[in-house]
């Protein structure tokens, strides 16, 4: 492993640890504390805002996610990578989807949600962190960003991030999940993305990661900056929600509900932009050159033997 690959591996390890630590912090704050549960519950209870207008697109996106559709998209991801002659990348992208979704189901089983009397109507539901539907959207988006050809990677990353962010917000709008559930799902997928990237650094010998450093696409920079800005705004909105957690739900005004709902939705979207933006920014280093199929072939000279009539 040369110096560039060592730097890349260090970056991926740092990303893995940072996202795992943030995931743990989200769980400890929004599940294990009364304050966090209260903020989450107020955001979820406010999902009546715009429900009529959002019901159709929300149901369309959420109902499209199933075991069958996940299997079909996973097969598509694998096919794109194999078609580009990136066989290890095909395995790694598939691993991100399978690992993230399996981890989410295991975390749901292992996680405990103490009953602080905050949300008695949903106390029998148990732990809902992370969101399964959001994990599907996040892992599929990340896998596609990994395998897309360089020519369409920028617009593709923007479109996939928008779709994944909407899917995460849709789980809140539908009343299926609290904001922290969707945020945790993006972090689970991000952990698997950076950890799987280490496999490319360690084992890709045909086109070694780090061998052709290039500037991250503008779309990736835009996503990261947008994510940071959205998370800062969400922090302010959720802090304003924290200011009224000791009020009963019946005492909250529509404006208070709107602040809480916006804070949750913006936090989900901001996490999506940041996690997927970091993936998009790292991909040019993990997959630095075009595969043989995508490399331009040299023009043959006019008097080439191929052009001669035998």
Give the pLDDT of the chain (310 residues) as one tens digit per residue: 678 788 889 999 999 999 999 999 999 999 999 999 999 999 999 988 888 888 899 998 899 888 889 999 999 999 999 998 899 999 999 999 999 999 999 998 887 888 888 877 776 677 889 999 999 999 999 999 999 988 898 999 999 999 999 999 999 999 999 999 999 999 999 999 999 999 988 887 666 565 554 667 799 999 999 999 999 999 999 998 887 777 777 677 888 889 999 999 999 999 999 999 999 999 988 886 554 444 444 444 555 444 444 3
User: Three-state SS string across 238-256, please?
Assistant: HHHHHCCCCCCHHHCCHHH
Q: Which residues lie below 8 Å from residue 262, measured CB to CB, with a gap of 6+?
A: 237
Are the C-beta atoms of 184 and 133 separated by less than 8 Å?
Answer: no
**Is residue 23 in a domain?**
yes
Residue 127 domain flag: yes
In a domain, 100, yes or no: yes
**Tally of structural domains, the chain:** 1
Is the whole-model pTM more than 0.85? yes
Angle, in degrees to the nearest 10, between helices 153-173 and 132-147: 180
| Residue 183 is assigned to a structural domain of this protein | yes
- Flag whether 296 is in a domain: no
Residue 306 inside a domain? The answer is no
Domain extent at residue 59: 3-286
What is the distance in angstroms between the CA of the first residue and the CA of the last residue of the chain? Answer: 50
- C-alpha span between 139 and 86 (Å, rounded): 19
Residue 149 within any structural domain of the chain: yes
310 part of a folded domain = no
Cα distance between residue 90 and residue 82, in whole Å: 6
User: Residue 152 burial (CB < 10 Å; 0-12/13-18/19+)?
Assistant: exposed
**How many CB atoms lie under 10 A from the CB of residue 2?**
10
């Amino acid at each position: 492993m040369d110096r560039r690959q060592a730097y890349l591996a260090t970056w991926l390890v740092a990303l893995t640890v940072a996202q795992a630590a943030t995931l743990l912090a989200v769980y400890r704050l929004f599940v294990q504390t009364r304050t966090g549960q209260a903020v989450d519950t107020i955001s979820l209870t406010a999902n009546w805002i715009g429900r009529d207008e959002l019901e159709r697109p929300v149901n369309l996106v959420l109902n499209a996610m199933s075991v069958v559709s996940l299997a079909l998209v996973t097969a598509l991801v694998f096919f794109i990578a194999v078609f580009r002659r990136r066989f290890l990348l095909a395995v790694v992208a598939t691993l991100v989807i399978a690992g993230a979704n399996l981890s989410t189901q295991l975390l749901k089983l292992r996680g405990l949600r103490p009953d602080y009397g905050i949300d008695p109507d949903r106390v029998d539901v148990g732990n809902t962190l992370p969101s399964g539907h959001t994990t599907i959207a996040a892992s599929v988006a990340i896998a596609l960003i990994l395998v897309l050809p360089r020519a369409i990677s920028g617009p593709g990353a923007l479109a996939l991030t928008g779709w994944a962010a909407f899917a995460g917000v849709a789980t809140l709008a539908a009343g299926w999940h609290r904001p922290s559930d969707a945020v945790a799902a993006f972090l689970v997928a991000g952990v698997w993305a950076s950890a799987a990237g280490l496999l490319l650094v360690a084992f890709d010998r045909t086109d070694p990661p780090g061998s052709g450093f290039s500037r991250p696409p503008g779309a990736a920079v835009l996503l990261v900056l947008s994510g940071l800005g959205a998370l800062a705004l969400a922090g302010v909105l959720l802090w304003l929600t924290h200011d009224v957690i000791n009020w009963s739900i019946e005492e909250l005004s529509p404006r208070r509900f709107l602040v809480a709902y916006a804070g949750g939705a913006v936090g989900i979207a901001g996490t999506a932009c940041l996690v997927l933006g970091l993936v998009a920014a790292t991909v040019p280093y993990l997959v630095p050159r075009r595969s043989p199929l995508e490399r331009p072939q040299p023009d043959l000279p006019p008097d080439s033997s191929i052009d001669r009539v035998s």
